[in-house]
Amino acid sequence: MNAYFLPRDRVDELVGRLLRAAEVIAPKRVETGDVFYSPVSSPGEVAWDYKTAVEPLKRFLLPQQETVLRFSTGEKLRVEPVLEEKDRIFLAVRNCDVTGVNVLDAMFGGEIEDPYYMARRRRATFISLACLEADEQCFCVCGDAGPFLKNGYDQQWTPLAEGMLIEVGSDKGQALADAHQDLLSPAEPDQVAEKLQLAKRAEETFGEFRSYIAAAMRRLTLAETPDEVWERLADHCVECGGCTFLCPTCSCFTVTDRLEGDGGVRERHWDACLYNCYAREASGHNPRAEHSQRLRARFFHKLSHQWAQRNGRHACVGCGRCVVGCQAWAHMSAATEAIRRG
Ligand code: SF4
Ligand code: SF4
């Protein structure tokens, strides 16, 4: 795939053009200093110097709550799907989060497509900003999701001393580069070498923090983890669901119908497999009534080889959000360590 160079003094011009072409979602700093992926309306709002965003990109493709259809129950039942159709460019988003979207694609864009997710996904373009320095909770290097990627993005931007190196990773990314060729020049070998140097240095900034993903994958796949490990983790976990809601790859949802006048709406909401009622059946039978069973199911879906084989990769991208969000020492890093020690 092609690589281009965008001089520093032309970055705002290109961002301005993107803003005129589509809704642009980019890292934006709020009063507290935290960064959230949010719609931006001018190039100056983009927080290029951030490390990680508080929330992943999931809510833009799979909103926390959405109306998926409206129905009327008059003489004849009428059902009308509600699809969100809008061009969106996700600019300067982190590679772990782009990889998270690729995991959601396997879930919602497989053999049986989810039309609501895919309506948004087809019109989304992902421009990632490679990380030059890891945040303290990051372990994307263990999750095979960064800090630099070889593929999986539409474009990957790397901030060099004099401007941006833009690597193209898809036809969508190439079309975007073609549309703005007047601002770009083909990347020179020394610019590609500068990026490789930055990538090497970025990997050296990962601290002591780690996650034993390979060990956990093997043991989960072979069902080698004793029940006591799950019981111990269940003693810690308070079932708040925070880890699942913050996770870029968790995709559990539930559906409710709400009556309104002569009809109503069907809504979908995020759910969490750790909740007691998540798998409870209409009869009242609950196949995962024990908390430890629910934890085992969650980590099996994140890390087992069976899941990875079906979906192309395991489902932890090492963003570290569950580590920050879990107050109970039952997050991904703690769990993989517990599984490894058995
Ligand atoms: S693992 Fe932590 S964040 Fe997740 S539900 Fe349990 S207590 Fe909450
Ligand atoms: S399990 Fe935790 S570290 Fe892994 S992708 Fe989800 S939130 Fe990020």
Does residue 229 register a pLDDT over 90?
A: yes
Report which of residues 17 and 111 the model is more confident about. 17
Written as six digits, the tokens of 33 are 């200093």
For the cut 90, the answer to whether the pLDDT of residue 15 exceeds it is: yes
Counting from 1 in the atom list of ligand 2, the atom nearest the Cα of 325 is 7
Bridge partners (DSSP) of residue 67 are 267
- Residue 165 pLDDT greater than 90, yes or no: yes
- Tell whether the model's pLDDT for residue 251 goes beyond 90: yes
Q: Is the CB of 93 under 6 A from ligand 1?
A: no
DSSP state of 83: -
Element (H, E) at 217: helix 213-221
- What tokens were used for 117? 């997710």
- Given a cut of 80, is residue 209 above it in pLDDT? no
Give the pLDDT band (50/70/90) at residue 274: very high
Does ligand 1 lie within 6 Å of residue 238's CB atom?
A: yes
pLDDT per residue over 293-306, tens digit each? 999 999 999 999 99
Q: Tell me how far apart the alpha carbons of residues 210 and 212 are, in angstroms, rounded to a whole number.
A: 7
Instruction: Provide the percentage of residues in the chain whose pLDDT is more than 70.
Output: 100
* More confident position, 210 or 45: 45
3-state secondary structure 103-168: HHHHHHCCCCCCHHHHHHHHCEEEEEECCCCCCCCCCHHHHCCCCCCCCCCCEEEEECCCEEEEEE
**Number of other residues whose CB lies within 10 A of the CB of residue 29:** 15
Instruction: Please determine, for residue 82, whether its predicted confidence score (pLDDT) is greater than 80.
Output: yes
Q: Looking at ligand 1, which residue's alpha carbon is closest to its atom 1?
A: 330
What pLDDT sits at residue 100? 98
Q: Give the distance (Å) from ligand 1 centre to CA of residue 323.
A: 9
Residue 245 predicted with pLDDT over 90: yes
Q: What band does 207 get if pLDDT is binned at 50, 70 and 90?
A: confident
Tens digits of per-residue pLDDT, 44-65? Answer: 999 999 999 999 999 999 999 9
Average pLDDT over residues 281-292: 96
pLDDT at 208 over 80: no
Q: Is the pLDDT of residue 260 over 90?
A: no
pLDDT of residue 225: 96
The tokens for 315 are 């489902």
- Sign for the CA dihedral angle at 307, 311, 317, 320 comes to negative
Please indicate whether residue 237, judged by its CB atom, sits closer than 6 Å to ligand 1: yes
CB of 102 closer than 6 angstroms to any ligand 2 atom: no
- Region 110-128: what's the mean pLDDT? 96
pLDDT at 177: 98
For residue 315, which atom of ligand 2 is closest to its CA? 5
How confident is the prediction for the chain on average, in pLDDT?
96
Measure 148 CA to ligand 1 centroid, in angstroms. 29
> Which pTM was predicted?
0.96
Determine the average pLDDT of the residues in 207-214: 83
Evaluate if residue 196 carries a pLDDT over 80.
Answer: yes
Kindly identify the ligand whose nearest atom is closest to the C-alpha of 338: 1
Going by CA atoms, what residue is nearest to atom 6 of ligand 2? 247
| pLDDT over 80 (residue 210) | no
- List, in sequence order, every residue forming a beta bridge with 23; answer none if it has no partner: 88
Residue 75: its pLDDT value, please? 84
